[in-house]
Amino acid sequence: MKTLDAVVAVLLVVGGLNWGLWGIFQFDLVAAIFGGNTAALSRIVYSLVGIAAVYQALSWKSVQRRLVGAKA
């Protein structure tokens, strides 16, 4: 689970940075890297970020328990 949580965290950071760049500069980094916002690779990245967000939302309590348990 730690690997999955790390992958989810990276995807959420990528998504957050992309949204931040869009909000401040109207620049879509994912689209710039993968060939436009309708390119297949861009859509895959967008989809993975969305799935990561859903996973994080659904497993938030479980992640909190693991983090609190790791500190003890």
**Residue 26 pLDDT:** 97
**b/e per residue 36-70 (b: at least 16 CB within 10 A):** eeeeeebeebbeebeebeebeeeeeeeeeeeeeee
70 pLDDT band, cuts 50/70/90, is low
Quote the number of domains for the chain.
1
Of 22 and 71, the one with more pLDDT: 22
Domain that holds residue 16: 2-71
**pLDDT tens for each residue of 4-61:** 989 999 999 999 999 999 999 999 999 999 999 999 999 999 999 999 999 999 988 7
Please state, in angstroms and as integers, the Cα–Cα distance from residue 60 to each residue in 14, 15, 47, following that order.
Answer: 19, 18, 20
